[in-house]
Chains A and B, each alone.
Chain A
Amino acid sequence: MSVDLSTPEAAPPRGVSTLRLQVRRFAANRLAMASVVVLTLIVLACFFGPYAFPFTGEDADFDFISAPAELSWPHLFGTDEYGRDLLVRVLEGGQVSLTIGFLGALAAGGIGVIYGAVAGYAGGRVDGLMMRLVEILYGFPYVILVILLSLLLGGGNMALFAAIVFTLWLTPAVIVRAQAQSLARKEFVEAARAGGMTGSRIVLQHIVPNCISVVIVYGSLLVPEVILSESFLSFLGIGIKEPQASWGNLISSGTSAMDSDLRLLLLPGTMLAIVLLCLNFIADGLRDAFDPNDR
């Protein structure tokens, strides 16, 4: 039997990339898609909602101090003890929490991916050294590390952000490193070396793109983790400071007024819970769609 080169073999119907297949599979997941819609609505509400009101979350309205939630204009969900509108504060707090959540996950994920891919591909002594560093950082108690870092960086939003990223990039680094290690032994990486590619190009063009499935899934779990740790730190009083609102410090002040007025806790708490649930459903859907085991 010989290959007939004069009439080349016809190709299968259409070229569909793995990514497109995965997106399609994700779109078929109803719960995940509903979560995407809800999350989008919340994000839009947080970023554009406050413009619908004639005041900002920091303006005190002395005619309505501790107004109850009567769904009447202009204070739909009432005000806090300083006469600030609760709904607007929650929406503005959402801006801070969501921004920190997504940017934090992006930054921590990005650093972790590059670090892990380099360590996994390089192997040997470099890998050992890089991973020992990660293990040492893992060893520090999380809260103490964050407090130290935010003290070191002089407090403020940037310090909080840096502290969160600094502690959260470790896990993606470990996950990607394991993936990169197995990819580095694949034959297409060897073919790339035989094709004269440099190590850095192999990492960027072959290793990182092939880690994407894992990274997307883990990254979607990272967002709620960042939001939670921001809320947690703000709750402890070392995160976002009053008068600026974030879900964490709103919940914190809501807790102190819990006995007399539950709604101060309920509104930001519900928002946070909804966002976290949505993100987890989305992460779940992504994992089902992107699981490298059934490609």
Chain B
Amino acid sequence: MSLLEARHLAVGYKVPGPGLFSAPRLLPIVHDVSLSLEAGRTLGVVGESGCGKSTLGRALLRLIRPSGGTVLWQGEDMAGIPDLRRRRAEMQIIFQDPIAALDPRMTLARIVSRPLATFEPGLSRKDARARAVEALQQVGLSADFADRYPHELSGGQAQRVGIARAIVGRPKLIICDEPVSALDVSIQAQVINLLMELQERMGLALVFISHNLAVVRHISHDVMVMCLGRVVEQAPRSSFYARPLHPYSQALMAAVPEPDPRREKGRVGTALQGELPSVLKPPPGCVFASRCPKAADLCRQTRPELREVAPGRLAACHFVEV
């Protein structure tokens, strides 16, 4: 039994219908995503902006109600868990904008100890504070920070406070929604290493959402690539990075800048041609067909299913070369 499992998960947002009195339409964001995650493992979710990564992360925690499919938490259907609110200690989330994730009017001790009021209602105020200070120390912030306010922090410090709030209830899973995209490169490394250290110490499972392939490579065990709300490739980290199979993954990989300036200079840019299709009017065929260098008529008419193309490797492409 996996810690977290999603089966054919779909999420849509309600948008107003075309007319004044017509019924609201469902704008689909995430289609048919299935995944499973074991304790202590990290799943990296990559894709361009607007591909539904963050929506997927929130739907996995049921912060957004999915419009289809099921999420199983330790084998139990999340939709059927009574009083899910109190079980949320086990599944936490950290955010992209670390400062916006902290209430500007609360001290850090209050921010971090806040979830304990729900998860461990019997805890005295003093004990809750002690736990908050302990959590702050676990993320490398001294006890002096307890009475500070969010506006006194740097981005990296704020993100660590966000992590402290997530771990204070001793979770089993943390969804990391682009946790380092807003940070300086040097701070990014600190936060990533902190997450890996906490994972090792607490046996955490992580879902690491990012558009940065280099960061995902560092932290993940498995990688999932999303394009326009669909999974196009899923693979173990090492084989994925050795050779991505889906043309979209290859394009993403080609877009990663080369750290060595001499080699970067000689690199031939392979910017994608073509338009990103509208979410409102998804194409009938492959979601990547309009930009894919290999696209054929078949791709524009029939959608390729996500299938096992090699042991442990899934890809959704008609022309996968293994």
Q: Which residues of A contact B (CB under 8 A)?
A: 1-5, 8-12, 15-19, 186-188, 190-198, 206, 209-210, 212, 295
For B, the interface residue count at a CB cutoff of 8 angstroms equals 49
B139 to nearest A CB, angstroms?
8
| Complex-state Cα separation, A210 to B150, whole angstroms | 13
- B144 & A190 in contact (Cβ 8 Å cutoff): no
| Complex-state Cα separation, A190 to B96, whole angstroms | 12
Which residues of B lie under 8 Å from residue A9 when comparing CB positions? 140-142, 145, 157
Which residues of A lie under 8 Å from residue B306 when comparing CB positions? none
| Contacts A18-B105, A18-B151, A191-B162 supplied; 6 other A-B pairs, CB < 8 Å | A5-B197, A11-B144, A16-B152, A190-B95, A197-B118, A198-B85
- By beta carbon, the residue of chain A nearest B147 is A15
A184 to nearest B CB, angstroms?
13
- A3 & B140 in contact (Cβ 8 Å cutoff): yes
| Complex-state Cα separation, A197 to B137, whole angstroms | 24
B92: interface (CB < 8 Å): yes
Interface of B is mostly: helix
- By beta carbon, the residue of chain A nearest B88 is A196
- A195 & B103 in contact (Cβ 8 Å cutoff): no
A114 to nearest B CB, angstroms?
18
List 16 A-B pairs, Cβ < 8 Å: A1-B186, A2-B189, A8-B137, A8-B143, A9-B141, A11-B148, A16-B149, A16-B152, A188-B103, A191-B93, A191-B165, A194-B91, A195-B165, A196-B86, A196-B118, A197-B118
| Complex-state Cα separation, A210 to B105, whole angstroms | 7
- By beta carbon, the residue of chain A nearest B143 is A8
- A210 & B92 in contact (Cβ 8 Å cutoff): no
Interface residues in B57-79 (C-beta closer than 8 Å to A): 58, 61, 63
B253: interface (CB < 8 Å): no
- A206 & B88 in contact (Cβ 8 Å cutoff): no
The 3 closest A-B pairs by CB, nearest first: A11-B144, A195-B115, A196-B118
Given contacts A18-B104, A187-B95, contact A3 B197 (CB under 8 A): yes
Contact of A11 among B105, B145, B193 (CB under 8 A): B145
- By beta carbon, the residue of chain A nearest B14 is A124
Which residues of B lie under 8 Å from residue A188 when comparing CB positions? 100-103
Given contacts A9-B142, A15-B148, A196-B86, contact A186 B100 (CB under 8 A): yes
A257 to nearest B CB, angstroms?
53
Q: Mark B236-270, 1 if CB is under 8 A from A, else 0.
A: 00000000000000000000000000000000000
- B105 & A191 in contact (Cβ 8 Å cutoff): no
B32 to nearest A CB, angstroms?
25
Which residues of B lie under 8 Å from residue A210 when comparing CB positions? 103-105
B38: interface (CB < 8 Å): no
Which residues of B lie under 8 Å from residue A19 when comparing CB positions? 105
Given contacts A9-B157, A11-B144, A18-B151, contact A3 B101 (CB under 8 A): no
- B92 & A194 in contact (Cβ 8 Å cutoff): yes
| Complex-state Cα separation, A3 to B142, whole angstroms | 13
| Complex-state Cα separation, A173 to B95, whole angstroms | 30
Contact of A1 among B137, B139, B190 (CB under 8 A): B190
Which residues of A lie under 8 Å from residue B61 when comparing CB positions? 194
Which residues of A lie under 8 Å from residue B193 when comparing CB positions? 1-3
B135: interface (CB < 8 Å): no
| Complex-state Cα separation, A191 to B92, whole angstroms | 8
- B103 & A190 in contact (Cβ 8 Å cutoff): no
Best-surrounded residue of A18, A186, A187 (most CB of chain B within 10 A):
A187
- By beta carbon, the residue of chain A nearest B83 is A196
